[in-house]
Amino acid sequence: MANYPTKRLRRLRYNPFVRDMVRETVLSKNDLIYPLFAVPGKNIKNPIKSMPGVFQFSVDSLVKECKEVEELGIPAVILFGIPEHKDEKGSEAYDPNGIIQKAIKEIKKEVKNLLVITDVCLCEYTSHGHCGVLKGEEILNDESVELLVKEALSHVEAGADIVAPSDMMDGRIGAIRNGLDNNGFEKTPIMSYAAKYASGFYGPFRDAAESAPAFGDRRSHQMDIANADEAMREIETDVDEGADIIMVKPAGHYLDVIYRAKQKFGMPTAAYQVSGEYSMIKAAALNGWIDEERVMLETLTSIKRAGADIFLTYFAKDVAKWIDNNR
């Protein structure tokens, strides 16, 4: 403490204007992607019990929701689909008249200033709830990748602006890049779920997406929660294969991975604040145990401070409103 009392770090903390001036990390609406769930039917807005404030929407209701999202100044949504029919090969995932393809077309028709990103995976569409084609109880990698290419292409043909493969099969980014390029979509970006962990925090999402696996779990393709060096290898592979944006999922407990990824690759980096992270904050807030707004902002600021440029968060609408009220 040789410099004390000359050096007093508290000098910049007394006055709120000074604090604002020296703040290093500031949330912006440009950072936000709002996840949405599409279901078959009409005029549906189903509350998801384990995710207060989050709903499943039929396509007509989804379009209304997207208009609201657009008006709030949120630049992007990411869509997840719950199909009419599930089968062994997840056929509705790449059906031109599937739930997501319909949703994209309707949103694009009605909502002009909103990026439509789509989640590309098979688990919402397969009868067994796994992320690919099965042989016995094994998920076949290359056969699954072929279907993912078809799925991504059908989303882009329907009008998706960005595709986001979340399956964690090996080689899928390169295969999807090729598939898009060979069909004239070389300008469509890929946001890769590059380091996606086999996390317990996905629990509430499985209610929302109705995608819980019929047996086993996702540890044969999603990453071991204990590994961070391996995350760098996963991300490097996806970057080499042509990913334009990389993602770490979940976010709040993986700040070291976000930090390392940003330092090492300098790529546009997204972080998914997943359902469990959201629901824990909601549940504690509903019990009056924490200040919801404050904790929401603290979690997202921490994720950005670690190096994320973009958030996928169920709080997107709340954050946008907060930003408006605090300008």
How many residues make up the chain in this entry?
327
Angle ∠(200,205,208) on CA atoms, nearest 5: 155
Round to whole Å and give the CA distance between 221 and 170: 9
Measured from the CB atom, the residue of 128 and 260 that comes closer to Zn ion is 128
Shortest CB 166 distance to Zn ion, Å = 6
Q: Can you name the residues that pair with 76 across neighbouring β-strands?
A: 33, 115
Measured from the CB atom, the residue of 111 and 131 that comes closer to Zn ion is 131
Cβ neighbors of 307 (< 8 A, separation 6 or more) are 258, 259, 261, 262, 263, 269
Measured from the CB atom, the residue of 123 and 267 that comes closer to Zn ion is 123
Binding residues among 158-177 for Zn ion as defined by CB under 5 A = none
Shortest CB 125 distance to Zn ion, Å = 9
Round to whole Å and give the CA distance between 270 and 15: 33
Q: Which two tokens stand for residue 143?
A: 């056969």
Q: Which two tokens stand for residue 272?
A: 């998914």
Shortest CB 83 distance to Zn ion, Å = 13
Given 105, 249, 282, 304, the catalytic residue: 249
Please report whether residue 131 would count as binding Zn ion according to CB under 5 A: yes
Q: Which two tokens stand for residue 261?
A: 């990824």
Cβ neighbors of 205 (< 8 A, separation 6 or more) are 51, 211, 274, 275, 276
Shortest CB 148 distance to Zn ion, Å = 10
**Contact with Zn ion (CB under 5 A): which of 48, 117, 123, 176?**
123
Number of residues lying near Zn ion (CB under 5 A): 3
Nearest CA to 263 among 302, 238, 230, 232? 232
Q: Is 282 annotated as catalytic?
A: no
Choices 1-9, 121-129, 265-273, 312-320 (CB under 5 A): range interacting with Zn ion: 121-129
Round to whole Å and give the CA distance between 260 and 163: 24
Shortest CB 167 distance to Zn ion, Å = 5
Shortest CB 122 distance to Zn ion, Å = 6
Please report whether residue 139 would count as binding Zn ion according to CB under 5 A: no
Cβ neighbors of 115 (< 8 A, separation 6 or more) are 75, 76, 77, 161, 162
Q: Which two tokens stand for residue 322?
A: 């907060």
Choices 91-99, 117-125, 134-142, 293-301 (CB under 5 A): range interacting with Zn ion: 117-125
Q: Is 49 annotated as catalytic?
A: no
Please report whether residue 208 would count as binding Zn ion according to CB under 5 A: no
Name residue, tokens 């970057």: 239
Shortest CB 121 distance to Zn ion, Å = 4
Alpha helices in the chain (DSSP H): 16-22, 59-71, 99-110, 141-158, 172-181, 203-209, 229-241, 255-265, 275-286, 292-306, 316-325
Measured from the CB atom, the residue of 105 and 196 that comes closer to Zn ion is 196
Measured from the CB atom, the residue of 210 and 292 that comes closer to Zn ion is 210
Given 102, 105, 196, 282, the catalytic residue: 196
**Contact with Zn ion (CB under 5 A): which of 74, 77, 121, 133?**
121
**SS3 of 77, please?**
strand
Measured in Å, how far apart are the chain's first and last C-alpha atoms?
Answer: 38
Measured from the CB atom, the residue of 68 and 217 that comes closer to Zn ion is 217
Measured from the CB atom, the residue of 122 and 300 that comes closer to Zn ion is 122
- Give me the residues that bind Zn ion (CB under 5 A), please: 121, 123, 131
Could you list the active site residues? 196, 249
